[in-house]
């Protein structure tokens, strides 16, 4: 008879992006009585990073724990975005069950499928929460049928198909077992009880030799690298001498200097941990994800955890534009390299490779969002750098060049389907399915080369007037077609002079295209200042001033008004830049510039390449 730890449960909350995981965890925390009555708790308390709070998405997996009826429940909040799928996979290895959150209106989405597939593969017990039950047009019963179909499609076993369903509103902190919104109870009690009843308690084998596996990494300036993971077997104590079975097969010994448990939003120092506990340990500088910590006299490694391969790469360079060093604090190659190495301490899906020049690095990641968040964090910290256009990583499989292909799901109002199908065709998308939901919404599924999706989201929002929803997840590597896929159609307006933009020159030139700068902005020769209405690039002078004459005109004193310029966000600029351009990123500005700033040099180089 195996003993279990009935005072403990380990669960992960999984869902598609924006289905309400983090808000639900907030309510679970508040209602468990873990906070004092006078304690101020922010909305989405788990999203601690500034960018997460601004964008309303979870980027890094977080763990927390609550006490309910003498049982400690460890909760892991996972990211819902496809770029952070690797995090989800590793977290699921730490838990015994999952709470699958599905929006009562949107139903099953691509990421719902992805995360559920991973959970069922490792035989975790599911609880389904149909969230946002109070939403307009909510269709809870249909959504439960959709979820059941998804379970069957993913080959769930009989035990997994017996999942309990809780209908909830994470925002209001209410739940019930009935799909009728009027039956909602004032608390999440039914969800707590479902967790205690249905999620298996961890096995208690604390007498056996220790096995602890690292699933997530953290970093602290005081104690260095911190490994977060689960004790799968045995007992672990502070001060204990242990061995780490490295990814490459080597074995290193170290002493556990500090151990932390979790409660609420805090980490608490603990002296010992037993089988089933989720803890963080420090004491070893180069501990990595998937490695096993075990006793020195009983070295036995757990199977290594799979880490997703990067699919997209960009070049990071030291800023060498005429404005270099004006706005940033950290501008040297040494500082940038140190910062990238620091990122590698905690981000396992990232790769940084040196290039032939000492002031440039090839940085590879899981997608545009993954890399743009790294760049955004760097600029907020005071870094100044240049980055190239993102490009997909091509692999050679069986002697053929293969590129990543994404599975894209698009939900749009009926009137936009023609435009979306045409734009997908231009990006070499192959339609797999199209379903009309009957409420004026159409859901389409495509297979599209990943390079066709670079820069597509901005076009997509324009095409669908902001009503479309686009989701994509990695599908597979397929042989590459040599044709150009996607990309920018129009040429750009490039500045020919250094100086300040004048209202006079903007007025003279604004019919040439859309301006990216306004009067008073500092510009330099070779900087992209607008988009041309035609396909070719043209060089223009935006710094000209009107020469005063002694001729007076009757209409002279009318005020000058120019069109509002298009100011780009970091993501838009990265998507917009072309192969012969860099994005210059500083704490204050985001500029697009030509790689070769001098007009004559640029023209010579273009002739050569043709």
Say whether pLDDT at 219 is over 80.
no
pLDDT of residue 387: 94
Say whether pLDDT at 555 is over 60.
no
pLDDT of residue 363: 94
Contacts of 90 (CB under 8 A, 6+ apart): 215, 216, 289, 290, 305, 307
Confidence band, pLDDT 50/70/90 cuts, at residue 38: very low
Q: Is 370 annotated as a binding residue?
A: no
pLDDT of residue 360: 93
Average pLDDT over residues 430-436: 87
Q: Is 23 annotated as a binding residue?
A: yes
Cβ-contact 72, 43 below 8 angstroms: no
Distance CA 280, CA 260 (A): 5
Q: Is 502 annotated as a binding residue?
A: no
Distance CA 474, CA 404 (A): 7
Distance CA 346, CA 340 (A): 11
Say whether pLDDT at 477 is over 70.
yes
- Classified as helix, coil or strand, 11 is strand
- Classified as helix, coil or strand, 507 is helix
From 231, 283, 336, 419, select the one nearest 585 (Cα to Cα): 336
Average pLDDT over residues 435-450: 84
Name which residue leads in pLDDT, 61 or 253.
Answer: 253
Instruction: Give the lowest-confidence range in 181-185, 191-195, 352-356.
Output: 181-185
Confidence band, pLDDT 50/70/90 cuts, at residue 385: very high
Q: Is 410 annotated as a binding residue?
A: no
Q: How many helices (H) and strands (E) does the chain have?
A: 15, 35
Q: Is 186 annotated as a binding residue?
A: no
**Most confidently modeled range among 70-79, 339-348, 394-403, 518-527:** 518-527
Confidence band, pLDDT 50/70/90 cuts, at residue 173: confident
For 240-270, the pLDDT digits (tens) are 888 888 888 888 888 888 888 888 767 788 8
Q: Is 319 annotated as a binding residue?
A: no
From 452, 529, 411, select the one nearest 107 (Cα to Cα): 411
The mean pLDDT of the chain is 83
Q: Is 20 annotated as a binding residue?
A: yes
Domains in the chain (CATH in brackets) are 8-198 (3.40.50.300), 211-295 (2.40.30.10), 395-479 (3.30.70.240), 492-550+559-581+590-609 (2.40.50.250)
Q: Is 134 annotated as a binding residue?
A: yes
Q: Is 543 annotated as a binding residue?
A: no
Burial group, residue 479, by CB count within 10 angstroms (0-12, 13-18, 19+): exposed
Q: Is 19 annotated as a binding residue?
A: yes
Instruction: Give the lowest-confidence range in 92-106, 454-468, 529-543.
Output: 454-468
Annotate 334-351 with b (16+ C-beta within 10 A) or e (fewer).
ebbbebbeebebebbbbb
Distance CA 386, CA 344 (A): 19
For 127-161, the pLDDT digits (tens) are 999 988 888 878 888 889 988 988 888 888 888 88
């Amino acid at each position: 008879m195996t003993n279990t730890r009935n005072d403990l449960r380990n669960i992960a909350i999984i869902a598609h992006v924006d289905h309400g995981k983090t808000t639900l965890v907030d309510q679970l925390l508040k209602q468990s009585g873990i906070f004092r009555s006078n304690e101020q708790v922010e909305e989405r308390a788990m999203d601690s990073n500034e960018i997460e709070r601004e964008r309303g998405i979870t980027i890094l997996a977080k763990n927390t724990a609550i006490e309910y009826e003498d049982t400690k429940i460890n909760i892991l909040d996972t990211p819902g975005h496809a770029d952070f799928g690797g995090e989800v996979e590793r977290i699921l290895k730490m838990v015994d069950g999952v709470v699958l959150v599905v929006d009562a209106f949107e139903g099953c989405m691509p990421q719902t499928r992805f995360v559920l597939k991973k959970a069922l593969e490792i035989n975790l017990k599911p609880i389904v929460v149909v969230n946002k039950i109070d939403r307009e047009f909510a269709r809870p019963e249909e959504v439960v049928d959709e979820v059941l179909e998804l379970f069957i499609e993913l080959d769930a076993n009989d035990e997994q198909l017996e999942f309990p369903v809780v209908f909830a509103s994470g925002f209001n902190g209410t739940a019930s077992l009935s799909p009728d919104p009027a039956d909602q109870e004032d608390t999440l009690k039914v969800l707590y009880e479902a967790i205690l009843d249905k999620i298996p308690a961890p096995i208690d084998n604390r007498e056996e030799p220790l096995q602890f596996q690292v699933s997530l990494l953290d970093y602290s300036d005081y104690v260095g690298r911190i490994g977060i993971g689960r004790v799968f077997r045995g007992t672990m104590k502070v001060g204990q001498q242990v061995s780490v079975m490295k990814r490459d097969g080597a074995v290193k010994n170290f002493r556990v200097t500090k151990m932390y448990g979790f409660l609420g939003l805090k980490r608490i120092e603990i002296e010992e941990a037993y089988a089933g506990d989720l803890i963080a340990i420090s004491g070893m500088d180069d501990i990595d994800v998937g490695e096993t910590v075990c006793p020195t006299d009983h070295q036995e490694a757990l199977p290594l955890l799979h880490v997703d391969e990067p699919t997209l790469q960009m070049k990071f360079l030291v800023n060498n534009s005429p404005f270099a060093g004006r706005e940033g604090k950290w501008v040297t190659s040494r500082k940038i390299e140190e910062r990238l190495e620091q990122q590698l301490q905690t981000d396992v899906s990232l790769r940084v490779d040196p290039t032939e020049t000492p002031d440039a690095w090839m940085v590879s990641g899981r997608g545009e969002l993954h890399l743009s968040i790294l760049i955004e964090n760097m600029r907020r910290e005071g870094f100044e750098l240049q980055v190239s256009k993102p490009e997909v990583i091509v692999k050679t499989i069986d002697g053929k060049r293969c590129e990543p292909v994404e599975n894209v799901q698009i939900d749009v109002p009926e009137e936009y389907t023609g435009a979306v199908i045409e734009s997908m065709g231009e990006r070499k998308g192959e339609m797999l399915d199209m379903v009309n939901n009957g409420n004026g919404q159409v859901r389409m599924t495509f297979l599209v080369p990943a390079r066709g999706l670079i820069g597509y989201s901005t076009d997509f929002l324009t095409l669908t007037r902001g009503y479309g929803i686009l989701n994509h997840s990695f599908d597979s590597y397929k042989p590459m077609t040599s044709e150009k896929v996607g990309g920018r159609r129009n040429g750009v307006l490039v500045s020919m002079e250094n100086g300040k933009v004048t209202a006079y020159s903007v007025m003279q030139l604004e019919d040439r295209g859309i301006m990216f700068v306004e009067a008073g902005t500092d510009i330099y020769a070779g900087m992209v200042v607008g988009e041309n209405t035609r396909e070719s690039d043209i060089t223009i002078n935006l710094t000209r001033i009107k020469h005063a004459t002694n001729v007076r005109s009757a209409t002279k004193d009318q005020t000058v008004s120019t069109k509002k310029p298009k100011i780009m966000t970091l993501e838009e600029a990265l998507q917009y830049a072309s192969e012969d351009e860099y994005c210059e990123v500083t704490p204050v500005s985001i500029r697009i510039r030509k790689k070769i700033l001098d007009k004559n040099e640029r023209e010579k180089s273009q002739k050569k390449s043709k």
